[in-house]
Structure 1
Amino acid sequence: MIMGHNGEQLPSTMKAVRYHVNGPPEVLRVEDVPVPQPGPNEVVIKVAYAGVNVVDSHIRGTGMPQLKVPLPATPGKDASGTVAEVGSEVKHFKIGDRVFVIMHELRSSGAYAEYFKAFEPEVHYLPDHYTFQEGASIGTACYTALKAMYIAGEAKPGQSILIHGASGQVGLACVQFAVAEGMNVFGTASTKEGTERVLQSGAHFCFDHSKENYVQQVRDNIGPKGFDLIIEMVASTNLQSDLELIGRPRKRIVLVGSKPTSIAINCLTLMMKAAIITGVRVSETTPEEWRTMKKLLEKGVNEGYVRPFVGPEYPLDHAVKVHHELLLMTGSHGKTLVRP
């Protein structure tokens, strides 16, 4: 056992999922490692749940230069749990606080573990009206939505917004923030369950993007003025349709996701509408932008209109199975969780 700075006893070792080389899911294994100790402005969390993100699989598997972390590494950017230890300069958290966490930058020490260390700005209070499962499902989805809407998209009350692919985690977060902002909210989904989820989150309209004529249906409902903002989840499929639906001038199409492929678009439409197309990468966020988004997220959490879509949960030793399933997921699905 290790005596913490506040007199609490922490175990000296813990279970954590780790990999020593980049590769397929089978490189993941549960190992005994030292419990992290906090630096001056760091918080150690006893993990209740870790949120699983598709990027976890990319970081583990691809070895892409922009996603490399020093090895060995533990996956996981999102977590919920209770504060187990705080550094000497931590001001806003104490042992026992319920919290959720999102890692601001890629690091080797992730959340698929019994304990997880984070910098204080990465930690948020988790009110009692949220479960730990919901807490672990908030971070990446909501910060991606906030980056897309407010930083890249410059969303404002009264605007019309289309969330193109609204039934997944990021899409639903966009719907919830847009409704709270007083926007005119349109969404798309491809299943009955997804459509119901989008409408239950407050969207005014939701269209089935698996139908051939759905773009015309959206156009008929928004009218000739088009949208002020489009949040696009699959740009490789939908970008040309977005150009047809966006308003003018200097209205924004924000790309959140895409397959790694080249596509053709009508550049004349882009020019004539003077549209702006931009992409989002949450890890490319300035400290000021993180602070802005954190205030918006905490408002949504405290007021209770942020309601994440929680999916299945697995124990740590099922990490290989979880990462295999990540590769097969299509369409909307709830947040997958792992628990120590």
Structure 2
Amino acid sequence: MAKTVVIEAFGGPEVLQLQDRPVGEPGPGQVRIRHQACGLNFIDVYQRTGLYPLQLPHALGMEASGVIEAVGEGVTHLNVGDRAAYASAPPGAYTEARVMPAAQVCPLPDEIGFDQGAAMMLKGLTVDYLFHRTTPLGRGDTVLFHAAAGGVGLIACQWAKSEGITLIGTAGSDEKCELAKAHGAAHVINYRSENFTEKVRELTGGKGVDVVMDAVGADTFEGSLDCLKPLGMMISFGNASGPVPPLNIGVLAQKGSLKITRPTLFTHIADHAACQAMARRLFGKVTGGEVKIRIDQRFPLDQVADAHRALEARQTTGSTILEL
């Protein structure tokens, strides 16, 4: 049996329940992993509220780290006793132990702690596909990144600096802006006190940026389009402020033949080999010192509702983990 966070109805943090659930043995292509820590992400909120529907009842959580306890037939990249971490479907990471598909579970280097592993996989792999798999980006390019002081944002600030990319970060307070700047953002904008569109145009000499990376959604989408240079790319990869309204595609032509995509991490990591290669690149950034994983909030598993409340209220910076 393993203590597991489950929802039986969609709703607020109050629907999160801690239940004892059987774990079982892994079948072909599966592993059983005993968790040391779990990560917290906005996708967990989307699933809890029903924005991303699940068949109920369902366990929650997409990211964790731990030790492999058992390996099913056909699994060759993991062995019993290996340290491992993952960001992976199906949801169910908020638990002491689980049986799950092995393909997206990654061997965790000894130099990386379990808490870091739980805090970095979904966010770090997201940054990897944003910078390496979505549109060509290289030294000298300019990116606007919203929510730059969050878990994904602080990794993105460091990642951009390590690759010679100029990152303009937005955040909701002067303190958060300073945090993003300390982690590598070239410029920061407090969107509560400044018009970020006007400021981006000023910072770029009126040209605009090559790419916008936006997980905020409804509140920032329209202004973000006006930050792009002609032929620029809008990457809308989340909706923390709510879903983006329907778009008249003709607007993209009017604003300079813009491009737009709505990617998800789970498409990028669906292929086992691609997932493992992305993880190795992420681990290399961390072990090489180019990216440091900042964990600013820690909650016991039985206080998961409080963790969700803090995340939704934008009271968090960096990464948040659930400790077991």
Is residue 279 of structure 1 aligned with residue 262 of structure 2?
yes
Q: Counterparts of 1:270 and 1:309 in 2: how far apart (Å)?
A: 40
Q: Counterparts of 1:185 and 1:261 in 2: how far apart (Å)?
A: 23
Q: Counterparts of 1:162 and 1:84 in 2: how far apart (Å)?
A: 42
Is residue 256 of structure 1 aligned with residue 256 of structure 2?
no
Aligned CA RMSD, in angstroms, stands at 2.8
Question: After alignment, is 78-87 or 13-22 more displaced?
Answer: 13-22
Cα pair 2:111 2:287 within 8 Å, conserved = no
Is residue 67 of structure 1 aligned with residue 53 of structure 2?
yes
Q: Counterparts of 2:249 and 2:45 in 1: how far apart (Å)?
A: 34
Once the two structures are TM-superposed, the CA of residue 50 in structure 1 deviates from its matched residue by 1.0
Once the two structures are TM-superposed, the CA of residue 102 in structure 1 deviates from its matched residue by 1.0
Secondary structure of the residue aligned to 1:165 is: coil
| CA 160–42 in structure 1, closer or farther in 2 if over 3 Å, else same | same
| CA 292–80 in structure 1, closer or farther in 2 if over 3 Å, else same | closer
User: TM-score, normalization: structure 2?
Assistant: 0.85
Residue ranges of structure 1 left out of the alignment (5+ in a row): 1-12
Q: How does 1:1-340 map to 2 (within 5 A)?
A: 13-62=1-50, 64=51, 66-69=52-55, 71-103=56-88, 105-107=89-91, 110-248=92-230, 250-258=231-239, 259-260=242-243, 262=245, 270-285=253-268, 286-287=270-271, 290=275, 293-327=278-312, 329-330=313-314, 332-340=316-324
Q: Counterparts of 2:97 and 2:276 in 1: how far apart (Å)?
A: 25
Secondary structure of the residue aligned to 1:211 is: coil
Amino acid at match of 2:76: K
Question: After alignment, is 172-181 or 74-83 more displaced?
Answer: 172-181
| CA 290–164 in structure 1, closer or farther in 2 if over 3 Å, else same | same
Once the two structures are TM-superposed, the CA of residue 231 in structure 1 deviates from its matched residue by 0.9
Once the two structures are TM-superposed, the CA of residue 49 in structure 1 deviates from its matched residue by 0.8
Once the two structures are TM-superposed, the CA of residue 307 in structure 1 deviates from its matched residue by 2.4
Amino acid at match of 2:29: N
Cα pair 1:101 1:118 within 8 Å, conserved = no
| CA 26–292 in structure 1, closer or farther in 2 if over 3 Å, else same | same
Q: Which residue of 2 aligns with 1:7?
A: none
- Percentage of matched positions with identical amino acids: 28
Cα pair 1:168 1:331 within 8 Å, conserved = no
- The count of residues paired between Structure 1 and Structure 2 equals 320
Amino acid at match of 2:18: V
Secondary structure of the residue aligned to 1:225 is: coil
Once the two structures are TM-superposed, the CA of residue 79 in structure 1 deviates from its matched residue by 0.5
Once the two structures are TM-superposed, the CA of residue 185 in structure 1 deviates from its matched residue by 2.2
| CA 212–202 in structure 1, closer or farther in 2 if over 3 Å, else same | closer
Cα pair 1:243 1:270 within 8 Å, conserved = no
Amino acid at match of 1:283: F
Once the two structures are TM-superposed, the CA of residue 46 in structure 1 deviates from its matched residue by 1.2
Cα pair 1:195 1:208 within 8 Å, conserved = yes
Cα pair 1:149 1:231 within 8 Å, conserved = no
Secondary structure of the residue aligned to 1:137 is: helix
Cα pair 2:86 2:121 within 8 Å, conserved = yes
Cα pair 2:217 2:238 within 8 Å, conserved = yes
Once the two structures are TM-superposed, the CA of residue 42 in structure 1 deviates from its matched residue by 2.2
Cα pair 1:134 1:307 within 8 Å, conserved = no
Cα pair 1:186 1:205 within 8 Å, conserved = yes
